Structure 1
């Protein structure tokens, strides 16, 4: 496989131009020259977005990426036999506008695609039964009672208790955080966890008893407070017109490649940062680079050691952020290996004890049917998702599950996997307060930003990068006593 981020060219600009910079008072280079650049640590989507925001504002910057490509977890690979493989997200939500806005700014309109409506079929696996996913849903919220009661995704008693959420009084708005599990049990009943957890906690690969509602799903808390009920609030809120999700014809890596291609500042690949200072960074090779501000966009487990010497309190808080693990197995088949039509988007797996005793699989996406251009004609491409297990075990179980559920004949043509064990941020209860403590422990010209802190989706990362850039610029322009 080739092309990890939508383009094979590795960009490394001005790699020898930043050594030995000395800073005078006021953030300017010695001798009264132009202000020092803002330094960005990490070339994932957050770092690229920060660089773009600085560029739009006419602020010079230097971006350091430890690896040999841009985009971080957003990686697309094109196989020699015509498949397009996503290593992480395959699309992003349009309800958060920031990724689509940036895509337009860098000229990607011709690449916009959306999940195919004609294949928009989804199953819900409960026990050994493949159930049709309930129709007329807004995420996990049913928009009408009758179709949900007929769905069978919970027991009859569980379905009735779920819908009785409309009669549960709202919790007093004290500002206190709670877990997803506590929220669901309180409002929808304990059995509702079996249906809601795969759809909600699955996004974060999280333990529902630890996942913060305020950090992960504040919109449902807001519906409870405004309407007294999540179901009533969802039904009273009009659906947005048009598609809900978007991707790119050449894969999600196209996005990172397009932003990187538009950046005219100094981008340094294969350049790990060892230490972050109030006025710059020290690179792994010992070189010190000074800047007017620093934006650290790498995941928390990389950021904490960089901050340890100069910002010990912030480092301790960053290091205390936990992460969860997941593995995605990619399987390619010929369509003729399946006795049934595979024109569907995939399936979600119930979290009930019986189903979980049968499989460790969390979900399946049929990429060849969900999005155009992901597989050659006459072929099926699937991604099978698991929690924190060894990739070899996940691969064997994925093949067994595809055979059991869909009757596939023979082995896959090939397989690959994305190993994100220990690399998915875990937004535990109290996460927003935790992030606030980190911000307080850092000076205003040093920011941490990215999925570890304020949202795991592509739009969230774009917004985090651009927001951090604005904050650092604002700090550098604020007079000091």
Structure 2
């Protein structure tokens, strides 16, 4: 479909009694924006998709090197238990491109006290599904293991209206020492400070289990495990999804087109062009979105600007298999929260997913919080040599530098988002990882939901 480029008149925004015939503008072509545009297209609603950069997918970046390594700069897979990313992949014809983490290399370690311990078996995320194997794991002291399992006898919280931090939740239910095991698995997803991370925003499923079953462990054990793979990815990397959606968009799609301001009836581009619209779905990160709202929606702009961020750096390292004296067919390791080192985790990408490294090579991703990339590189090389015996320098290295660019869902986050939405008219929606979930399925769902909300607010048939 083609969309006319309608401009505002000099002296103010144009008025149009038939405003819903104007397009809906989607700002940002990350996974949220692409999903929003796709939803509008599926509904037959005209749209304009504006992306400040020169590519699609936002943080989702897959790069094939000259020597045939596949480098992921952000997510390397998506969870299948949330159906939205898989549904979108199927809609754009990617069924045959779907792959899953390799079961035959599913070996994971937990680094505690300088020792690589076998990761506990029979867990749901961090929740033990049987007492005996967890007691034998050694990931906590014997007292810490028993206290964590004693969560089954801790009464549920009475006041469910109040939000709490992940740390408060862990200490209340599992004991203080359990922080060392649970935080790397839970807070690591959000690269978050556990004393600030909102349970209601990040882990509502555990709050629900506590209330329904009286215990997270009891609830997890009473809930059947999903059958089949837990995660999915694509043969040529996660950018496959973004590029496939973009290739099927038939509306007005513009790269290298940053937005200066969002108005009730359109946007102004940084070059001065004004595009009239019936609604806007603003999917840019909060630190980008806030200034664009300032002119027309100062209250919402201030609230969006108050959203905090965390930082992370991933160091990508390539080696020859012969540089390791041990078998590197494993998925990686998690680091105990009290280990006293900067590194938080390692993924052996070449073993985790097919096609990530040429035969006879090892590709690693080493994760840190907000650390200078050069320091992170030195630490990564040192830890890979110390823990896995790597000999010599890596063949090459790369960075995924997300310092200050990961959303921080602080306690009270959901109430804050409600205030943002209340400060905007219903035809102006904010959506994306800054607001309602950092995973790819969450971003897809956020984009499609925001598009539907704008369409409903306009009363457009679609």
TM-score by length of 1: 0.93
Determine the C-alpha separation between the residues in 2 that align with 1:478 and 1:402: 56
* Partner in structure 1 of residue 15 of structure 2: 24
Deviations for 1:108-167, whole angstroms, at most 9, x for unmatched residues? 001000000000000000021000000011000010000000000000000000000000
In the alignment, does 2:335 pair up with 1:349? yes
Shift of 1:17: 4.0
Q: Does the 8 Å contact 1:15/1:268 carry over to 2?
A: no
* Partner in structure 2 of residue 412 of structure 1: 394
* Partner in structure 1 of residue 352 of structure 2: 370
Determine the C-alpha separation between the residues in 2 that align with 1:400 and 1:464: 40
Determine the C-alpha separation between the residues in 2 that align with 1:224 and 1:370: 33
* Partner in structure 1 of residue 110 of structure 2: 124
Counterpart mapping for 1:221-260 below 5 A: 221-260=207-246
* Partner in structure 2 of residue 10 of structure 1: none
Counterpart mapping for 1:52-451 below 5 A: 52-352=38-338, 355-356=339-340, 359-451=341-433
- Aligned residue pair count: 458
Q: Does the 8 Å contact 1:65/1:270 carry over to 2?
A: yes
Q: Secondary structure at the match of 1:463?
A: helix
Determine the C-alpha separation between the residues in 2 that align with 1:316 and 1:20: 26
Q: Does the 8 Å contact 1:14/1:268 carry over to 2?
A: no
Shift of 1:74: 0.3
Determine the C-alpha separation between the residues in 2 that align with 1:26 and 1:419: 47
Q: Secondary structure at the match of 1:330?
A: strand
Determine the C-alpha separation between the residues in 1 that align with 2:100 and 2:189: 19
Deviations for 1:363-420, whole angstroms, at most 9, x for unmatched residues? 0000000000000000000000000010000001000000000001100000001000
Q: Secondary structure at the match of 2:356?
A: coil
Determine the C-alpha separation between the residues in 2 that align with 1:27 and 1:86: 45
Shift of 1:26: 3.5
Determine the C-alpha separation between the residues in 2 that align with 1:127 and 1:304: 44
Following TM superposition, the consecutive aligned residue runs of length 4 or more in structure 1 with deviations greater than 2 angstroms are 13-28
Determine the C-alpha separation between the residues in 2 that align with 1:263 and 1:217: 34
Shift of 1:24: 3.3
Determine the C-alpha separation between the residues in 2 that align with 1:23 and 1:477: 20
* Stretch deviating more after TM superposition (66-75 or 166-175): 166-175
Cα distance change, pair 27–46 in 1 and its aligned pair in 2 (3 A): farther
Cα distance change, pair 322–384 in 1 and its aligned pair in 2 (3 A): same
Determine the C-alpha separation between the residues in 2 that align with 1:338 and 1:156: 33
Shift of 1:175: 1.5
Instruction: In structure 1, list runs of 5 or more residues that go unmatched.
Output: 1-12, 29-33
Match 1:454 to one of 436, 452, 459: 436
TM-score by length of 2: 0.97
Instruction: In structure 2, list runs of 5 or more residues that go unmatched.
Output: none
Shift of 1:446: 0.3
Q: Does the 8 Å contact 1:294/1:445 carry over to 2?
A: yes
Determine the C-alpha separation between the residues in 1 that align with 2:97 and 2:252: 27
* Partner in structure 2 of residue 5 of structure 1: none
In angstroms, what is the RMSD of aligned CA positions? 1.5
Q: Secondary structure at the match of 1:329?
A: strand
Q: Does the 8 Å contact 1:327/1:420 carry over to 2?
A: yes
Q: Does the 8 Å contact 1:46/1:465 carry over to 2?
A: yes
Q: Does the 8 Å contact 2:5/2:275 carry over to 1?
A: no
Deviations for 1:55-76, whole angstroms, at most 9, x for unmatched residues? 0000000011000001000000
Determine the C-alpha separation between the residues in 2 that align with 1:79 and 1:478: 46
Q: Does the 8 Å contact 1:297/1:448 carry over to 2?
A: yes
Cα distance change, pair 27–316 in 1 and its aligned pair in 2 (3 A): farther
Determine the C-alpha separation between the residues in 2 that align with 1:404 and 1:132: 17
Q: Secondary structure at the match of 1:294?
A: strand
Q: Secondary structure at the match of 1:200?
A: helix
Determine the C-alpha separation between the residues in 1 that align with 2:152 and 2:267: 54
